Structure 1
Amino acid sequence: MSLEAWQPPELAEPIDNSKNPIDARGADWSGKIIAAINLQGARLSRVDLRCTDLSNCNLENADLKLAKYNRQTRWPQDFDYKKSGAIGPGAKLDAMFLSGADLRYMDLRGASCMGTYLSGANLSGAILDGIRMISADLRCAVLQGAMCRGTRFTGAQLNQADFRGADLSEAGLEGAETIEGADFCLAIGLDQIAAELLRRPYKELDCWNPFTRNTTRKSLEWHLNQPPVGGDGKS
């Protein structure tokens, strides 16, 4: 291919290319209805496939690592997309390297994230309800406004994690390996366990978070100082 005819992969369109596997790394194919084209061996890492219809495509040996999908994505019959490396509801992401990944507003309900490397990942607004993040690496991860209802963090590394405004109702934070420098200010659902978390070592609680400019202790004490809902007749 001549240099003049080359185009970056992120601009690639889902068209039939019988000579060479399609290279569409980072492309936005969201919402597209894709015809019956051969995507065998295609390089589709980081492609946005949310609300995309791929049901008539051949995805054998396609590289889907870090591709994004949702509940409206349609896959070929019998294609095991949950184990393809793509990210979305029900995905098998155990021990995967997703450090620094942009996962904002992703629906990951039903996904398995045991031992997943998510350090520095942006999970703002993501739906993580009920996920088992056992032994996951969430150091410096951003979870602002994330839905973490019933999420299990046993053995997880939460150093410098930003949980501000997250919904942590019934989340299992007590068994986290460390919460050193994590910020829980304005999070929901910590009223019952804030006092227990404040019994953790001072090294964890008095660690300064340079991004949020807060300490873990101060962010947890904020919850103890809030009036109970309806307690004064004004809330």
Structure 2
Amino acid sequence: MLDLLQWQPPEVQLPSVGSTTPLDARGANWSGRTLAQLDLRGASLCRVDLRGTDLSTCVLDGADLRLARFDALTRFPEGFDFSSSGAVGPGANLNGAFLNSADLRGLDLRGCHLMGAYLSGADLSGSLLDHIRFVGADLRHAVLRGASCVGSSFTGCQLDFADFRSADLTDARLQGADTLAGSDFSGCLGLEPERAALLSRPYMELDTWNPLTRETTRSSLER
């Protein structure tokens, strides 16, 4: 029976030695910690911040790492397939993943596989997205404000109402996007090679009003 007097919300749970039941730490911040020989089998670690965390001596069999955040400094146990664990960070395999409305702000996602990913409404503000193939991804209403998208491909993407304001789109491929009605490119860097082609798209796309940014796609491209 659940003891409400001892209960703590998952997001404040800290890693502990000797736990007899699978740990529920959903949404907790474990960044920068060294976790020595913890048994995290079957643990619920969804959305846990593992950036800079040393998990190299932990047991992670069956742990739920969906949307857990990691970076280049995170250390996983030898042989653990972190790239296919559902965790989000550099090199993660997220092809076709359901990431609708996910909070992905300020993450290093370089080397990620995001083909066909569902990112509608996701917040990728300030994230490193260089050289990612978003081919066929759903980015409707996604926020990429200030993101670095150098050399990324948006071929076949749905970009309706996507917010690219002040993003770095140097060498990015946007011409092949499926739709971009209402998307906002105000203040983007590196857009000049694509600008003319984007402004030649159908007027129904270019003249769609974005109620959030208060711009049409055309006016954002003509700035």
* TM score, norm. by length of structure 1: 0.93
User: What residue is the counterpart of 1:170 in the other structure?
Assistant: 171
Q: Which runs of 5+ in 1 are unaligned?
A: 223-235
The Cα shift of 1:16 comes to: 2.2
Does 1:155 pair with 2:162? no
- Residue 53 of structure 2 aligns to a residue whose secondary structure is coil
User: What residue is the counterpart of 2:7 in the other structure?
Assistant: 6
User: What residue is the counterpart of 1:125 in the other structure?
Assistant: 126
Distance 1:193 1:111 in 2: 24
Letter in 2 for 1:189: G
- Residue 192 of structure 1 aligns to a residue whose secondary structure is helix
Letter in 1 for 2:172: A
Query: Which sits farther off after the overlay, 151-160 or 15-24?
Result: 15-24
The Cα shift of 1:17 comes to: 3.9
Distance 2:186 2:6 in 1: 52
Please say which structure displays the higher CA radius of gyration: 1
Show structure 1 runs of 4+ deviating over 6 A: none
| Cα RMSD after superposing both structures | 0.7
Distance 1:165 1:143 in 2: 9
Question: Alpha-carbon deviations, 1:130-159, whole Å to 9, x = none?
Answer: 000001111011111100000000100000
Letter in 2 for 1:120: G
Distance 1:2 1:214 in 2: 53
Letter in 2 for 1:115: G
Distance 2:18 2:220 in 1: 55
Distance 2:19 2:53 in 1: 22
Does 1:183 pair with 2:184? yes
Does 1:104 pair with 2:105? yes
User: What residue is the counterpart of 2:17 in the other structure?
Assistant: 16
Letter in 2 for 1:129: D
- Residue 222 of structure 2 aligns to a residue whose secondary structure is helix
Distance 2:10 2:30 in 1: 12
Distance 2:4 2:213 in 1: 46
Does 1:91 pair with 2:97? no
Distance 1:94 1:100 in 2: 16
Distance 2:117 2:221 in 1: 26
Letter in 2 for 1:210: P
User: What residue is the counterpart of 2:221 in the other structure?
Assistant: 220
Question: Alpha-carbon deviations, 1:19-41, whole Å to 9, x = none?
Answer: 21111011000011111010011
Letter in 2 for 1:41: G
Distance 2:18 2:211 in 1: 49
- Report how many aligned residue pairs link the two structures: 222
The Cα shift of 1:2 comes to: 1.2
The Cα shift of 1:18 comes to: 3.9
User: What residue is the counterpart of 1:209 in the other structure?
Assistant: 210
Distance 1:45 1:214 in 2: 36
Q: Which runs of 5+ in 2 are unaligned?
A: none
